[in-house]
Chain A
Amino acid sequence: MAKKQVVSATINGNATEFLCEPRQTLLEALRDNLDLTGTKEGCSNGNCGACTVLLDGHPVVSCLVLAMEAEGAEVTTIEGIAPSEGLDPIQQAFLENAALQCGICTPGFIVATKALLDTNPSPTENEVRFALANNLCRCTGYDKIVRAVLDAAERRKASV
C-alpha cells in the first residue's frame, strides 16, 4: 500500500488539507475522509451522475477523479451550494416543483444544474435535457426535474 499523501484544496470555499491514499477517488475522499456524505455513490464508474461535484466550476463525476487530482483545485459539493442562510434558487425550485422522490440522485442533479445555469442562464427544455443526460433518476421520469431546472433559471434571473 502506497503511503498516504496530503492534498490541499478549496472545498466549498474553505481551504482544506486532507490525507488520502493515492488509489482513493475524490468521491471516496469526500465521503470517508472529509465526511461530506451529501455526494452519493450510485455506480462508481461514471454512469449515473449521483456523485457529480464541481471541480474548478466544471461538473465532474467524482468517482472518476482521483482525490490527488484535486490538489490546488476548487471543489464544490452539494453541501456548498446553499448560502449560509436559506437555500439556493435551484434548491428552492426543486422543492417547489416536487422534483425529487427518493432524493438519492438529487445532490448530483442540483450540482449539475448549477453548472448548466452558470454557463447557460436561459436554457431551452432540450438544452436542459442534454445537459442533465449524464444524471440518472429512476423515480421521477424527469418531468418535474426538467420543470424545476427551467423554473430555477427564471428564479436566478429574477434574483439578479
Chain B
Amino acid sequence: MSSFTINSRTSDSVDILELTGELDAHTASHLEDALKVLIDTNRHKIVVNFTQLAYISSAGLGVFMAYIEDVRALGGDIKLTNMSDKVYNVFDLLGFPTLYDILDTEEEALVKFTS
C-alpha cells in the first residue's frame, strides 16, 4: 500500500508541510485534509517541502490545483520546494512551473514570504 506522511512545522507566520513517501490517488486526501485545516484556520502562507517525496501522480498535483486560487485570493500562496528531478518533471509536463512558485529550497520560499 502507498506510504505517505506529512510533518507540519511553522516558521513565524509560515506553515511548512514536509511530505514523505508516495503521493497518489490513495494518499492525496491526506494532503488535502492538511491543506484544508490550514486554510480554514486562516493560515495562507504555506510552503510544501518535497525533499522526502519519492513519487507523485496527477491525483497529488490535483490537490494543489484545487486550492491554489483560494489561498492566493486570501493574500497567501502555496510555494513548492526541494523537488527531486523525477517529481519536478511531472509538474513540468503539465506546465506547473509557470503557474506555481517552485523553488530550490525552503529557505528561498520563507524569504519570499517575509520580504
A binds B: no
Which B residues are within 8 Å of any A CB, using their own CB?
A: none
Which A residues are within 8 Å of any B CB, using their own CB?
A: none
